[in-house]
């Protein structure tokens, strides 16, 4: 697989495929010509990356999803029309690579219409924000406690689970995590009369 951490790909006049596995599924923030369910082998979706901006703070880091080694991941492949690639890629690069906690890679995907190659953001295991494989109880506690510029970690998890379910590609590990988070959250206080 090609590693392209340092710079965005140069516009080459062709359409570009991008693989989405987390918030890009439910909040892409860009126009796309096509979206296809896709399977990536060799990586799995995991809450393995500390977020100190979007879903947490330096004082109370949150966790976000990353593609980590092993297993498989179902998500969406977005096709970006050639004329929109430069602006879209600049947006994606700023959003996903601002602190270089991901590596941009070319990823081979399987789709119902045949194989494609897409750009995707894989967690950089050498980055200080890489959390590794955490105990589910610790992940749940972190998700319950953290919020950042884009809102609470819990909303991030809920939106991802909901959108994957809506697409017909539920993730049983994320469902189990959401159940654990909901069980560990204290019930809301009743209103004062």
158 as an active site residue: the answer is no
**In whole angstroms, what is the distance from residue 22 CA to residue 45 CA?**
8
Query: H helices of 34-132, where?
Result: 85-97
Pick the catalytic residue: 31, 59, 94, 96? 96
State residue 100's pLDDT score: 85
Is 52 a domain residue?
yes
pLDDT at site 6 = 45
Owning domain of residue 86:
16-184
pLDDT at 187: 58
Between CA 110 and CA 166 the distance in angstroms is 20
Query: Taking the chain (193 residues) in consecutive chunks of 10 residues, what is each chunk's mean pLDDT?
Result: 48 87 92 96 96 91 95 97 91 85 93 95 94 92 91 94 94 94 73 66
Q: Is 179 contained in some domain?
A: yes
Residue 35 has a pLDDT of 96
Question: For residue 7, is it within any domain?
Answer: no
Q: Kindly report the CATH number assigned to the domain that includes residue 68.
A: 3.10.490.10
Give the per-residue pLDDT at 66.
94
pTM of the predicted protein model: 0.86
Q: pLDDT tens for residues 112-142? A: 999 999 999 999 999 999 999 999 999 999 9
How many distinct structural domains can be found in the chain? 1
Q: How far is CA 14 from CA 36, 79, 82, 83, in A?
A: 18, 10, 5, 8
pLDDT computed for residue 164 by the predictor: 95
Kindly list the distances between the CA atom of residue 4 and the CA atoms of 20, 68, 103, 119, 127, in Å, as whole numbers in the listed order.
17, 17, 7, 10, 15
Report yes or no on 6 lying in a domain: no
């Amino acid at each position: 697989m090609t590693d392209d951490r340092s710079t965005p790909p140069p516009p080459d006049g062709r359409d570009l495929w991008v693989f989405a596995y987390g918030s890009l599924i439910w909040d892409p923030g860009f126009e796309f010509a096509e979206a296809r369910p896709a399977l990536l082998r060799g990586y799995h979706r995991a809450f393995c990356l500390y977020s100190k901006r979007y879903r947490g703070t330096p004082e109370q880091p949150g966790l976000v999803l990353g593609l980590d080694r092993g297993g498989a991941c179902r998500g969406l492949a977005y096709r970006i029309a050639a004329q929109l690639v430069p602006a879209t890629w600049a947006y994606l690069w700023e959003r996903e690579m601002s602190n270089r906690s991901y590596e941009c890679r070319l990823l081979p995907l399987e789709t119902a219409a045949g194989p494609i190659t897409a750009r995707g953001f894989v967690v950089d295991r050498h980055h200080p924000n890489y959390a590794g494989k955490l105990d589910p109880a610790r992940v749940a506690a972190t998700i319950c406690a953290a919020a950042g510029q884009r809102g609470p970690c819990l909303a991030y998890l809920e939106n991802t689970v909901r959108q994957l379910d809506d697409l017909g590609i539920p993730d049983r590990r994320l469902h189990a995590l959401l159940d654990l988070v909901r069980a560990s959250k204290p019930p809301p206080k009743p209103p004062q009369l």
